[in-house]
Amino acid sequence: MPDTQPLKSGDPRQLGDYTLSGRLGEGGQGVVFLGMRGEERYAIKLLHGPVGDEQAAFLREVELAKHVARFCTAQVADAGFDDGRPYIVSEFVDGPSLYREVALTGPKSGGALERLAVGTATALAAIHRAGIVHRDFKPQNVLLGPDGPRVIDFGLARVLDAAATQSGRGVGTPAYMAPEQITAALVTGAADVFSWGATMCFAANASAPFGQDSVAPVLHRILTAPPELGWLDGYLRDLVAACLDKDARNRPSSRDLLYALLGDSDGVPAEVLRSPPPHLLRLAAAPMAEPETTGAAPDVYHLPAASGPATVSQDTQDVRAHQRASAANRAGLAVSCALLVSAAVLVTLLVPAFRSGDGPAPQAAAQPSGSAPALLLPQLTEPSPSRERQESKVRGGATEPAPPPPRVEPVGVGVPSLVGLDRSAAVKALRRAGLSAGTLNEVDSRQRIGRVLASRPAAGALLAKGTEVDLDVSAGLAVPELKGLSRKAAELALARTGLATGVVSRACSAQPGGRVLSSSPAAGGRVAGGSAVALVVAQHGAEVPAVVGKGRESAVAGLKAAGFAVEQRVQIVTEPGEVDTVLAQSVPAGRCAQPGRTVVITVGVEGQTGPDPGEPEPDPTPTPS
């Protein structure tokens, strides 16, 4: 179960029908409480500020949120107001946020990263299908439950705007905001797709693609700089890059994103498909739809333009219009999809044959009634070997292959991918590439110390041989100053810094009980994000010295010097070495006790060897018989 903190003074104890038992967390939007109704647990978010005249709009959004599919989201159950401040009740998810999990355990990769991508993309598609734009998709809003990732905090778009106006807080987290959110342009579901791409970068690299330092530089990089994709590779890297396109029109919709992750790429931008497998040739057949401008998440499909001018016949336009008009009819849509797939296969087989001659390619003819519509496929940039053979020239009846294109040698040396490597490994990689390491900038980061965070120029840039490449290297996180804080405040300071609380031990001190006396590592020491910091906490009082086995006088002097009163008791002993030696003490050594407390010591004394002085001497006169 996520860490639950006690309620603070001023926190409500009841919200509607829900009894609050603790705090689950607090952020820029509001406080999340653990609530109970009967035996059921709920996560209840109470926003910081009122929403003014937007109460009715808030309740309408909550009703929409209740209809979002539950398989990858925390289901919205209820909502209400507390003195004008709105609260929303959601299903309780027993697990940490993606942000906390990555901070503690490091980046995700392989199957774990792919499962996370599919699960969150499914949730986003379900949210958009309900007509909702999340607008604050980020690692903190992805909870890793025992049954998979769950997306939370959707359905608050308009009410957050109103609450932000009232309280002066912003909506969205800068490191994961889309460019249109920064420029105050129309925000649609494409903004959530951008935030999804940034969140996947964080999951794979433990850092956002445009940095997560101060707000102004982050926003500037989002608007102008390419993303740092780090350890993302393969098809997922290309897909995330498409999601992070600065033009919202070029990003895939959430549904296309999910299809692409599942192996069906209809509607995914062509630049993602630099080397598309055969089943991705259906890209050109994806239907186009106009984006909605009502604030709800549109299902937008972007078809890359075919190279060169193209003529679309009237029959083709009629077919497309008919397809759009009958999109709601599932049976008709299934038939259309089957026709499109068949046509794509036919065109894939026939286009090379049409291009085998020297004459111009034939124009699309009008389609007879009942046949599949004509399709415009984007021209591939590099011909396949089979196409080269088909396009060979015929000279004197003999077929001669066309000469291969001239080889273009790259100008300069390419900067290798260095992000994620240790500093020494990055320096070696630069040397192998014919470059050298320039300035090494140490940057505060949750990454392990010495890990490369960025290179300037970035990977792929062409440089003259021997050019220096500057590196940003993780300096870890500095342990904050904890001495004098209460234990709770120290643990909170560590959590905010991205560190964990380690072993907590106690030591006697004149400081109030519960105050931190020291930490290990000490304040200012640098460690990787998620590292445990041990604490020594004060226990008010003085430490009782160990006096057992010492002589009586030495024991009495030691206890009085520590600030304690002494009471002595005696015990007859038979061993000469125990005489005038402390046999026991009433307060154990090492325990903290209040100054002035009486410590009773037991001292050994020698037993009597003659008759007891109180008894009469025996009469030596013999008794007559």
The reported pLDDT for the residue numbered 610 is: 57
Distance CA(7)–CA(29), nearest Å, equals 18
| 186-233 confidence digits (pLDDT tens) | 889 999 999 999 999 999 999 999 988 788 889 999 999 999 999 999
Q: Which amino acid is at 203?
A: A
Beta strands in 512-597 (DSSP E): 516-520, 526-527, 532-540, 542-543, 565-573, 582-585, 592-593
**Which CATH fold would you assign to the domain 478-540?**
Trypsin Inhibitor V; Chain A (3.30.10)
The reported pLDDT for the residue numbered 48 is: 83
| 420-455 confidence digits (pLDDT tens) | 898 889 999 999 889 999 998 988 888 889 989 988
On the question of pLDDT at 288 being above 70, the answer is no
| 310-325 confidence digits (pLDDT tens) | 333 343 344 334 334 4
The reported pLDDT for the residue numbered 482 is: 93
The reported pLDDT for the residue numbered 310 is: 34
| 3-19 confidence digits (pLDDT tens) | 678 888 888 999 999 99
Distance CA(143)–CA(72), nearest Å, equals 10
- The domain spans of the chain are 14-305, 414-475, 478-540, 544-605
The beta-carbon contacts of 400-406 under 8 Å, at least 24 apart in sequence, are none
> Around Cβ 282, how many Cβ atoms within 10 Å?
22
Q: 478-540: same fold as 414-475? A: yes
The percent helix, strand, coil of the chain (3-state, each to 5) is: 30, 25, 45
Is 66 or 250 the better-scoring residue by pLDDT? 250
The reported pLDDT for the residue numbered 377 is: 31
The reported pLDDT for the residue numbered 521 is: 93
Tokens of 245: 């396109």
| 264-281 confidence digits (pLDDT tens) | 655 444 444 433 333 333
On the question of pLDDT at 350 being above 50, the answer is no
Average pLDDT, the chain: 75
Q: Which amino acid is at 360?
A: P
pLDDT band at 362 (very low <50, low <70, confident <90, very high): very low
The reported pLDDT for the residue numbered 619 is: 56
| 167-193 confidence digits (pLDDT tens) | 444 445 789 999 999 988 888 999 999
| 369-387 confidence digits (pLDDT tens) | 333 333 333 333 333 333 3
pLDDT band at 330 (very low <50, low <70, confident <90, very high): very low
**Active-site residue numbers?**
136
Taking a C-beta distance cutoff of 8 angstroms, is the pair 583, 604 a contact?
Answer: yes
Taking a C-beta distance cutoff of 8 angstroms, is the pair 280, 251 a contact?
Answer: no
Report the top-level CATH class of 544-605.
Answer: alpha beta
Helices H / strands E in the chain, number of each = 15, 25
On the question of pLDDT at 357 being above 50, the answer is no
Least confident of 239-248, 335-344, 534-543: 335-344
pLDDT band at 415 (very low <50, low <70, confident <90, very high): confident
When pLDDT is averaged across residues 612-625 and rounded to a whole number, the result is 53
Query: Does the N-terminal peptide bond of residue 457 adopt cis geometry, omega within 30 degrees of 0?
Result: yes
Non-local (6+) Cβ contacts of 96 within 8 A are 2, 104, 143, 144
Distance CA(227)–CA(271), nearest Å, equals 16
**Which CATH fold would you assign to the domain 14-305?**
Transferase(Phosphotransferase); domain 1 (1.10.510)
Please give the CATH number for the structural domain made up of 414-475.
3.30.10.20
